[in-house]
Amino acid sequence: MASPSSTPASAGSEQKQVQSLQKKNTRLQQQKGVAREQKVADDRYQRSQERFRSVFENSPLGQKIIDPDLRIRQANQALATMLGLKKPQQVVGRRIIEFAHPDFVADWQRLQQQLWAHKKPHFALETCLIRPDKSSFWCRVTSVLFPDEEGELGYTTLEDITARKQLELANQRLYDTQETMLHLAAHDLKNPIAHVQMIITLLRQNAGVRRMDSATERQEVEQLLALAEQSCGTANALLRDVLFLGQLEATRLQKHRTNLGAFLDKRVAVLRLAAREKNIHLRLELPKTPVHAAIHAEKFGRILDNLLTNALNFTPAGGTIRVALRQLKGRIRLVVRDTGLGIPAALQPHVFDKFTTAARPGLYGDTTTGLGLFITKQIVELHQGKIWLESKENEGTTFYIDLT
């Protein structure tokens, strides 16, 4: 006898049960997938934490995490050793400012202000810390701001730079000593040179020399006196440049807003006589609108004197020297162009060197020290400017100075 067929109601109930089971299965699969993804994320986070701890704890540099109050949340062994302590635990919980040398407490206050008050993403400084045994050391501190659950913290690295600082101080003392000796020598040499120049003048006027019977002998004596005079001129020029350079490196420029056109007009007027004596045309080209810049008048005048003296020294009679002032977009340009001998390409990279090997005798026997263009470049850079040149042999040289 055949079994009775299912009713529509029971078939519908079975279908609902199947659908419910399928939904439960789907949820279970989704939950398992989420759990797997979570486990993968947790494993990845755990590995990243382990990598961070490995780098943090084993770094040869001092590593610490500080809060806005400069309290140390975390520290590595290198930092503890740097601070003269045995374990990082002796550092954690203390404010780094407790280790600051009394003269350098303001450094940490500045770091605190820059990171948390001004929200700078990172900040670096060089400061001095002191250990419990009262010994001190220099370190470079670099701190990076990063977000944390409790707010923003500073990840900070400390590098011991005591050896470098000691070397810098030793070099500075050596430099200061050398500068002092050089200036003393330069000042002390000025008087003997002046005496030699006075003796040369007296010899020229000496009756015995003037009464020499032989014109040849008088000419020889005059040549010897001229050579001595030239040597004194060279020595004086060198002493003047050395003393000027020492003064330049030792002082900061006090600059004032100046009408450059009027300033150049007065400065060029002084050199027009020297140009006229050598039959050289010296021209000044100024824009119609006044151009102003912040300069140190005396030092900036030395720039123009050096460039024009060079141009006069290497420009033949009948030649032209042009000084031009131009107002460009965002900058001011000073141009000194001559139609002189030009500078060989091989010498051009060295013209701004101190005691440059590019120094050459000019057309008129003028004295050169090899310091003029070096000084010029130093003054330009002290004015936050840039200087460069273009030159071709037998066609002339152009110097450019840009001021911002």
* pLDDT exceeds cutoff 60 at 4: no
pLDDT confidence of residue 367: 59
Mind listing the pLDDT tens digit for each residue in 29-71? 787 777 777 777 766 766 766 776 777 888 899 999 999 999 9
Q: Which domains does the chain have, with CATH numbers?
A: 57-160 (3.30.450.20), 166-250 (1.10.287), 256-403 (3.30.565.10)
Per-residue pLDDT band for 1 (boundaries 50, 70, 90) equals: very low
Q: What is the dihedral of CA 99, 102, 104, 108, to 10 degrees?
A: 50
Which of 59-68, 118-127, 206-215, 219-228 shows the lowest per-residue confidence on average (mean pLDDT)? Answer: 206-215
What's residue 210's pLDDT? 73
Looking at residues 333-346, what average pLDDT do you find? 94
The pLDDT score that the predictor gives to residue 201 is 84
Average pLDDT over residues 266-291: 93
Whether this prediction's pTM lies above 0.75 is answered by: no
pLDDT at residue 205, rounded to an integer: 81
Q: Percent of the chain scored above 90 by pLDDT?
A: 50
pLDDT score, position 6: 56
Among 117-126, 236-245, 267-276, where is mean pLDDT lowest? Answer: 236-245
**pLDDT at residue 8, rounded to an integer:** 64
Q: What is the pLDDT of residue 250?
A: 56
Q: Express each pLDDT in 192-211 by its tens digit.
A: 788 888 888 888 887 777 77
Q: Looking at the predicted structure, is the pLDDT value of residue 288 above 80?
A: yes
Instruction: Say if residue 309's pLDDT is above 70.
Output: yes
pLDDT at 75 over 70: yes
Q: Residue 167: pLDDT above 60?
A: yes
Q: Does 92 score more than 70 pLDDT?
A: yes
Q: pLDDT value at position 278?
A: 92
With a cut of 80, say whether residue 325 has pLDDT above it: yes
Q: How confident is the model at residue 123 (pLDDT cuts 50, 70, 90)?
A: very high
373-399, pLDDT tens digit by residue? 988 998 899 898 999 999 999 999 999
Mean pLDDT of 140-160: 92
Is 352's pLDDT higher than 80? yes
| Mean pLDDT value across the chain | 85
pLDDT band, residue 21 (cuts 50/70/90): confident
Q: Are 26 and 34 in contact (CB under 8 A)?
A: no
